[in-house]
């Protein structure tokens, strides 16, 4: 192997040994559970009368038979084959992989939050309702909106919730508006959410500066426009300088503006979607508000609305009554209905609220400033080594292109794989779609200058390696538990479970 990397150096991932499936560890007769002895009387005769035989399971589920030690070793082994923010720098663009504070985890596990039931008497959950009520207000203030629902479980879920409200709003006014406009740099969830809400999507190209093309926008807006969905700053990390004009164009045509809050980490306390002219906004609490991504979830995607949309909010929201107690507000007759069971991902809301209280409003503004400075610093240092298609200042993230390396037979994917050997999680790659060989970097505010410099130096080194030893990149990574995986075969002949029985 032609590599200058010292393979004896411990990397973030040292679980290189193969890891058996939990099912493969099974030994008949072994147990890991502890259940109480049955303390109520029952007879076999009674039991057979409770449940007809045809309702009973014919073959026991083939679950593994292992001891508690087996379970702990197995999952600890798996964890060692996984990379999280606590392992190292994770500059995944548009995902805001900031540090997940430990106090959030501790308080969310308090029995008073973790072990309560959504249907308990309201008198027995006043602390939970007070927290939710306060969070509703805090998020409304942060986004410049008039009301907030905490129910949506994720960003995409929030998008769909917001679009359903927009649909109801137009329908209540007797208008038949079928189209949702998105720029070509938008998240894939935007058009997908529009479809699930019953809209058609119209995609408009960005202009040479990476911004919404106002002429194109004017061409497509009309009496069929339900909404424009916009991420601002955009997925290119650029603030839409003409946002006020954009809002005017859409509103004049009778459409509403949807703010995809995925990139809110750039603007807290600096500008607010509500003041820019947006009518609906969702926030990704698992991005901006530091709640952990959990390997893919759970998240939370609260939605804020201007007063014109309040009647359509999903039920229920939390209200404070005249006597100072908290309760669920009655659903409006025009509500879009329920979008999720119960009241949203409460455990995530607890973490987000805790995070907000560690900072307060001035602290949150500082978060955004530092996130933006970190991104601009990285862009400034990297622009001589990779192509930067749009000049700064960027906001909390920026995009580069790996297209300059194509002459050496190297692609962005290879750069990303090579980064793994140095203990970094790669940036987002091949997104947004309107930048060739895209590399999208979001450092967040919780990374130090030393960390950024270390990563930048590595990126420069990799660009150099691409020229001098492209093979090295093409075969990377070398230090991970597995090398590159055959994704084509995985999709062609799917093996999606271990088919235990």
Partner 1 sequence: MKKHRYIPMTEQNEREMLAVVGAESMEDLFVDIPKNVRYQGTLPMSSALDEAGLLRHMTQLASKNADSDRYASFLGAGLYDHQVPVVINHVISRSEFYTAYTPYQPEVSQGELQAIFEFQSYICELTGMEVANASMYDGATAMAEAASLASAATRRKKIVISSTVHPETREVVRTYAYGLGIEVVEVGFDNGVTDLTQLESSIDGDTAAVLVQSPNFFGAVENVRAISDLIHAQKGLLVVSANPISLGLLEAPGKLGADITVGDAQPLGISGSFGGPTCGYFAVSKALMRKIPGRIVGQTTDKNGKRGFVLTLQAREQHIRRDKATSNICSNQALLALSASVYLSIMGRQGLIDVCDLNLKKSHYAAKQLSAIQGAKLAFSSPFFNEFVLQLPENTDLHALNEKLLEEGFIGGYDLSRQYPELGPAMLIAVTEKRLKEDIDRFAEILEGSL
Contact flag: residue 156 with partner 1 (CB under 8 A): yes
Contact flag: residue 1 with partner 1 (CB under 8 A): no
What SS3 string covers 175-229?
Answer: CCCCEEEEECCCCCHHHHHHHHCCCEEEEECECCCCCECHHHHHHHCCCCEEEEE
The site that binds partner 1 (CB under 8 A) totals a number of residues, namely: 212
Contact flags string 108-137 toward partner 1, x per CB under 8 A: xxxxxxxxxxxxxx-xxxxxx-xx--x--x
Among 25-33, 213-221, 248-256, 462-470, the segment contacting partner 1 (CB under 8 A):
25-33
220-259 residues in contact with partner 1 (CB under 8 A) are: 238-239, 241, 243-244
103 vs 210, 314, 366, CA distance in Å?
39, 31, 20
Q: Which of 89, 93, 136, 142 binds partner 1 (CB under 8 A)?
A: 142
Which of the 8 DSSP states describes residue 480?
Answer: S
Which of the 8 DSSP states describes residue 469?
Answer: -
346-365 residues in contact with partner 1 (CB under 8 A) are: 346-348, 350, 353-354, 356-365
Give the pairing type, strands 147-149 and 326-328.
unpaired
Q: Which of 166, 197, 227, 438 binds partner 1 (CB under 8 A)?
A: 197
Nearer to partner 1, 467 or 489 (CB): 489
Nearer to partner 1, 85 or 253 (CB): 85
- CA–CA gap between residue 21 and residue 8 (Å, rounded): 28
- CA–CA gap between residue 252 and residue 26 (Å, rounded): 66
455-494 residues in contact with partner 1 (CB under 8 A) are: 475, 477, 480-487, 489-491, 494
Q: Which of 268, 204, 273 is nearest to 232 (CA)?
A: 273
Q: Which of 268, 451, 463 is nearest to 374 (CA)?
A: 451
Cα-trace Rg, the chain: 26
Among 19-27, 212-220, 403-411, 463-471, the segment contacting partner 1 (CB under 8 A):
19-27
Contact flag: residue 447 with partner 1 (CB under 8 A): yes
- CA–CA gap between residue 170 and residue 199 (Å, rounded): 12
362-421 residues in contact with partner 1 (CB under 8 A) are: 362-367, 369-370, 372-374, 376-377, 380-381, 392-393, 416-417, 420
Contact flag: residue 99 with partner 1 (CB under 8 A): yes
Contact flags string 263-302 toward partner 1, x per CB under 8 A: ----x-xxxx--xx-------------x-xxxxxxxxx--
Q: Is 399 helix (H, G, I), strand (E, B) or coil?
A: strand
């Amino acid at each position: 192997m032609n590599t200058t990397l010292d393979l004896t150096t411990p990397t973030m991932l040292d679980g290189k040994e193969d890891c058996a499936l939990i099912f493969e560890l099974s030994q008949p007769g072994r147990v890991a559970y502890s259940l109480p002895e049955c303390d109520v009387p029952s007879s076999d005769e009674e039991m057979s009368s409770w449940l007809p035989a045809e309702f009973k399971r014919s073959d026991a589920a083939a679950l593994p038979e292992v001891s508690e030690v087996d379970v702990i070793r197995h999952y600890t082994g798996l964890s060692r084959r996984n990379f999280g923010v606590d392992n190292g720098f994770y500059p995944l663009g548009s995902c805001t992989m900031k540090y997940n504070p430990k106090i959030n985890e501790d308080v969310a596990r308090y029995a008073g939050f973790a072990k309560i039931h959504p249907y308990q008497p309201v008198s027995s959950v006043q602390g939970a309702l007070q927290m939710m009520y306060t969070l509703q207000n805090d998020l409304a203030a942060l986004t410049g909106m008039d009301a907030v629902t905490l129910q949506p479980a994720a960003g995409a879920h929030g998008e769909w919730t917001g679009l359903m409200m927009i649909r109801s709003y137009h329908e209540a006014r007797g208008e038949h508006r079928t189209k949702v406009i998105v720029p070509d740099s938008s998240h894939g969830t935007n058009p997908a959410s529009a479809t699930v809400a019953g809209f058609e999507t119209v995609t408009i190209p960005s202009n040479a500066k990476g911004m919404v093309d106002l002429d194109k926008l004017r061409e497509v807006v009309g009496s069929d426009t339900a909404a424009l969905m916009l991420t601002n700053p955009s997925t290119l990390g650029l603030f839409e300088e003409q946002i006020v004009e954009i809002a005017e164009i859409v509103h004049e045509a009778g459409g509403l503006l949807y703010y995809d809050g995925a990139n809110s980490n750039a603007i807290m306390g600096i500008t607010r979607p509500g003041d820019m002219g947006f009518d609906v906004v969702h926030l990704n609490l698992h991005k901006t508000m530091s709640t952990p991504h959990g390997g893919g979830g759970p998240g939370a995607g609260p939605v804020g609305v201007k007063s014109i949309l309040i009647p359509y909010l999903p039920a229920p929201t939390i209200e404070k009554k005249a006597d100072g107690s908290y309760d669920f507000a009655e659903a409006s007759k025009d509500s879009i209905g329920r979008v999720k069971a119960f009241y949203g991902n409460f455990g995530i809301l607890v973490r987000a609220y805790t995070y907000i209280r560690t900072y307060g409003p001035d602290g949150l503004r500082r978060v955004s400033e530092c996130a933006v400075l970190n991104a601009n610093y990285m862009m400034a240092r990297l622009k001589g080594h990779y192509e930067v298609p749009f000049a700064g200042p960027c906001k909390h993230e920026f995009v580069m292109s790996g297209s300059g390396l194509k002459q050496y037979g190297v692609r962005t994917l290879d750069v990303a794989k090579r980064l793994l050997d140095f203990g970094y999680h790669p940036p987002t790659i091949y997104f947004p779609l309107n930048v060739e060989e895209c590399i999208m970097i979001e450092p967040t505010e919780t990374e130090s200058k030393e960390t950024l410099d270390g990563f930048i130096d590595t990126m420069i080194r990799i660009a150099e390696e691409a020229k001098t030893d492209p093979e090295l990149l093409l075969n990377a990574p070398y230090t991970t538990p597995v090398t590159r995986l055959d994704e084509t075969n995985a999709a062609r002949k799917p093996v999606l479970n271990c088919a235990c029985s």
